[in-house]
Amino acid sequence: FHGFNKFFGEQQVLNGIDLQVQSGEVIVILGPSGCGKSTLLRCLNGLEVAHSGSLKFLDRELLDKATDWRDIRQQIGMVFQSYHLFPHMSVLDNLLLGPLKVQKRQRREAQQQAEALLERVGLLDKRDAFPRQLS
């Protein structure tokens, strides 16, 4: 983001945001309720329309009217605040749904990555659990 602005009617909710995240970098966006955290993330994924500034991902300007958001969303993950897992699917199957159906990746590769991520957050032992079995 560079000089990024977003309005809801007359109310400016994002004002001149500058943010750069390097590949592989993990960041936290922290602030009180209503400060624009979710709006910022929704803009990054094309779920909200920006009003001015620049938004680049992999050196592509995303605010261009020709941006194919379906393509971009295959490369940017997002978990909504009110997330829901499919209750009839295991944790692993929920994690594999996007990579297999949207990205058309090979199951073996996607499963290895999903299991590595579960291990990273200490949940590998829950891979076969169903949402009702989780706290």
Structural domain total, the chain: 2
**Residue span of the structural domain in which 95 resides:** 91-133
* Residues 53, 11 share a domain: yes
* Residues 69, 10 share a domain: yes
Rounded to two decimals, what is the model's pTM?
A: 0.61
**SS3 per-residue string spanning 87-131:** CCCCHHHHHHHHHHHHCCCCHHHHHHHHHHHHHHCCCHHHCCCCH
* Residues 67, 31 share a domain: yes
Judge whether 70 and 76 are in contact, CB under 8 Å.
no
The amino acid at residue 53 is G
pLDDT of residue 119: 93
Asked if residue 79 has pLDDT above 70, the reply is: no
The amino acid at residue 119 is E
Q: How many CB atoms lie within 10 A of CB 1?
A: 20
* Residues 117, 58 share a domain: no
Which CATH number do you get for residue 25? 3.40.50.300
pLDDT tens string 22-75: 888 888 888 888 889 889 988 988 888 888 999 888 888 888 888 888 888 888
Judge whether 5 and 53 are in contact, CB under 8 Å.
yes
pLDDT of residue 97: 92
Q: What percent helix, strand, coil does the chain show, rounded to 5?
A: 35, 15, 50
Q: What is the C-alpha to C-alpha distance for residues 74 and 55, in angstroms, rounded to an integer? A: 17
